[in-house]
Amino acid sequence: MSAEAASPPSSAADDVPKKTFVVIVSDFKDAEALNRRLSVRQMHLAEATNRRKKGSLVSGGAILDSHDDGKMVGSALVMRADSKEQIIEMLMSDPYTMGKAWDLDTVQIYPYVEADF
């Protein structure tokens, strides 16, 4: 039997990075930060949908200043990548970064393992 016949076929799941990270990133604090965020939000959501389909984004959402007001002030993400550097690369190309909503100087990236319960 050849090596090719013995190997299972490659799938998109084989390309999904195996390391999971929690990412916290704040928005800029100036008066126009929320407007900049909102102006690129649809592009950001389209990119997030694409990353989710590829397996590099597990989940994500806005960090709010409070549950009452609900003003978006940052983002929390669960992402998959081979390294923190790959996470940074993905964040740098995101519309929220390019549109000056996210302040990457505030980014926190932590290795993460989801509990199985």
User: Is 23 inside a domain boundary?
Assistant: no
pLDDT of 31 reads 96
Q: How many domains does the chain contain in total?
A: 1
**What's the pLDDT score for residue 104?**
98
Where b means 16+ CB within 10 Å and e means fewer, 70-105 reads: eebbbbebebbbeeeebbbebbeebbbbebbbbbee
End-to-end CA distance of the chain: 42
Residue 59 is assigned to a structural domain of this protein: yes
Of the candidates 74, 65, 77, which has an alpha carbon nearest to the alpha carbon of residue 26?
A: 74
* pTM of full prediction above 0.95: no
Is 93 part of a structural domain of the chain? yes
Average pLDDT over residues 53-60: 96
Q: DSSP state, 7?
A: S
pLDDT at 17: 63
Residue 100: CATH number of its domain: 3.30.70.1060
- Give the domain extent around 62: 28-111
DSSP state string for 76-113: EEEEEESSHHHHHHHHHTSHHHHTT-B-GGG-EEEE--
Q: List, in sequence order, every beta strand (DSSP E) within 4-65.
A: 19-26, 57-64
Q: How confident is the model at residue 15 (pLDDT cuts 50, 70, 90)?
A: low
| Residue 10, domain member (yes or no) | no
